[in-house]
Structure 1
Amino acid sequence: MGGGASVIDLGYACVDDERAGRTGVSEVIYGAGKTAVQIAGIVEAMRANGQERVLITRLDAAKAAELKDLGCAFAYDETARCGVVGGLPGPDGNGEILVLTAGTSDLPVAEEAALTARFLGNRVHAVHDVGVAGIHRLLAHVEEISRAQVIIAVAGMEGALPSVVGGLARCPVIAVPTSVGYGANFEGVTALLAMLNSCASGVSVVNIDNGFGAGFQASLINHLPGREA
């Protein structure tokens, strides 16, 4: 196993073993496009260099089963399509991250965001299927919205949910467009553009289906000094 002071060169991957020191968060494994053998090798390298916990995103069920057969011990969340090696830490963020989904079809992306945030040491509360097609469902959760430190709003179709939430919340809102929708949704492009054009202040946007990015950004906000609940 070769490499410099900050990189473990496995041939098929260069593991950044000093990322936690630079950014506060150790490297995360993106599972899509990697074989189970490659993922197992990266996990082994991380653990051997002192990384207590490892998050594997975009891990499908078949690959997760293969990874377990290789002897890699981890907990698998099939909805979030994520694996966690070493368990989840206790929350040490300032307050609560609220994850809202417009519809049940947005659950995989929302659960990826929620699990990422929990992995990074946050208390997370999730409320599902509160899209604007039935606005009363969202308004029933005004109390949760008002007490959140950060909100992640996940929506496909026309992507209207974050704009409405942005008009109700006093905290940052991270909008996540999903590829859920019919033809004119253009696999999430319509929702993405709607969120980028939101008239509500305090709304930022991550890429289509990027639950991981939303969970990571929410964690950064929830760990800022001086934002205690």
Structure 2
Amino acid sequence: MAFHQSENSESLCGGAAFARPDYDRAMRQGAGEVIYGEGKTAEQIAAIASSLMEAGQPRVLATRVDAKKADAVAALWGKVAPGGGAGDEGNEGNVAGDAGKGDAGGVVPCAYYETARLVVFGDMPAPDGDGVVAVACAGTSDLPVAEEAALTAEFLGNEVRRFYDVGVAGIHRLLDVADELRAARAVVAVAGMEGALASVVGGLVAAPVIAVPTSVGYGASFGGVTALLAMLNSCASGVSVVNIDNGFGAAFQASAINHLNSRQG
């Protein structure tokens, strides 16, 4: 396998040596590099995204980007997007819908999803997975993590069904959608507090369940550690667990499961 490498980091990202984008990640892992936005400046995020798209990555995802930084990224995108262009700010899901022009003159959108804190450079793809990825979350307070998972899964080419506010405190709400959860190829279960949702879902469905503990809860939840330990100790078979608040990681795993057949051979 041949890898696309630059001679030095200064040849990347507009001559700045702050990043070495991985242009061959899609060839190795089935999905291109994703930018972790927390701790990076707007200038760095926009430059890395531009570099990846110039190298042929059709779309780029940036996670953990707050609204203020997203506004700055949108303003910069018209200057650094492949082919240049001018940006216009918009609403959630369309912060800068005309923020750049591609090499062939087409629009390279830059969209921000505030609840999930995601920036998407380029168009969302049509679903090409084997089935549906279900995202279930226990309560409304878990929505930021659940939406990070749902939108990441859509970015990775999956049809996503959302089942929100189905926590075990009102278990009838979960049982009402049990048949739809059973029809999914993979289920992402997002919960804080005591984290019981993942175990209950794991006992209802045959598909793999990816559990996401969230930092939602009172003092003894220890910022999500209680939910994490509960999920790790689940007696339901087929439950795997990602890190606290890691909706992105859960979606990536669910997407890999949902593309197993389509990517064989």
TM-score category, normalised to shorter length:
over 0.9
Q: 1:8 to 1:224 in 2, by over 3 A?
A: farther
Whether the aligned pair in 1 keeps the contact of 2:9 and 2:20 (CA below 8 Å) is no
Match of 2:122 among 81, 86, 97: 86
**Runs of at least 5 residues in structure 1 that lack an aligned partner in the other structure:** none
Deviates more, 1:9-18 or 1:159-168: 9-18
TM-score for the superposition, normalised by structure 2: 0.82
Match of 1:54 in 2: 60
Following TM superposition, by how much is the alpha carbon of 1:7 offset from its aligned partner in structure 2, in angstroms?
10
Q: For residue 3 of structure 1, what is the aligned residue in structure 2?
A: 6
Q: Which has the larger radius of gyration?
A: 2
> 1:59-208 maps to which residues of 2 (within 5 A)?
59-72=65-78, 73=99, 74-208=110-244
What's the counterpart of residue 220 of structure 1?
256
Distance 1:8 1:181, change over 3 A: farther
Query: Structure 2 CA distance, aligned partners of 1:113 and 1:20?
Result: 19
Aligned with 2:68: secondary structure? helix
AA partner of residue 254 (structure 2) = A
Report the secondary structure of 2:133's partner residue: strand
Question: Structure 2: which 5+ runs fail to align?
Answer: 79-98, 100-109
8 Å CA contact retained: 2:60, 2:122: yes
Instruction: Give the whole-Å Cα distance in 1 for the aligned partners of 2:113 and 2:77.
Output: 18
Residues 131 and 159, structure 2, Cα contact 8 Å, conserved in 1: yes
Percent of paired sites with the same residue: 65
Q: Which residue of 1 aligns with 2:24?
A: 18
Asked if structure 2 preserves the Cα contact closer than 8 Å seen for 1:178 and 1:188, the reply is: yes
Question: Any idea what the Cα deviations from partners look like across 1:185-215, whole Å, max 9, x if unmatched?
Answer: 0000000000000000000000000000000
- Which structure exhibits the higher relative contact order, with contacts defined as CA atoms closer than 8 Å and separated by 6 or more residues? 1
Query: Any idea what SS the aligned residue of 2:127 has?
Result: coil
Residues 1:64 and 1:226: Cα distance change in structure 2 (over 3 Å): closer
Three-state SS of the structure 1 residue aligned to 2:17 is coil
> In 1, Cα distance between the equivalents of 2:208 and 2:148?
19
Runs (4+) of structure 1 exceeding 2 A deviation are: 2-10
Partner in structure 1 of residue 93 of structure 2: none
1:44 paired to 2:50 = yes
- Cα distance change on mapping 1:165 and 1:12 into 2, 3 Å: same
Is the contact between residue 10 and residue 17 of structure 2 (CA under 8 Å) also seen in structure 1? no
Q: Which one has the bigger strand percentage?
A: 1
Alignment TM-score, normalising by the size of structure 1: 0.95
| Number of aligned residue pairs | 226
Do the aligned partners of 2:9 and 2:19 also contact (CA within 8 Å) in 1? no
SS at match of 2:205: coil
CA distance in 1, matches of 2:133, 2:9: 32
| Distance verdict in 2 for CA 1:202–1:8, change over 3 Å | farther
Deviations 1:128-147 (A, max 9, x none): 00100010010000111110
Deviation at 1:18, TM superposition (A): 1.1
1:5 deviates by: 9.5
**CA-atom RMSD in angstroms:** 1.8
Which string of whole-angstrom CA distances, capped at 9 and with x for unpartnered residues, describes residues 1-32 of structure 1?
x9249996440111111111111111000000
Residue 90 of structure 1 aligns with an amino acid whose one-letter code is: A
**Is the CA contact (8 Å cut-off) linking 2:134 and 2:181 kept in structure 1?**
yes
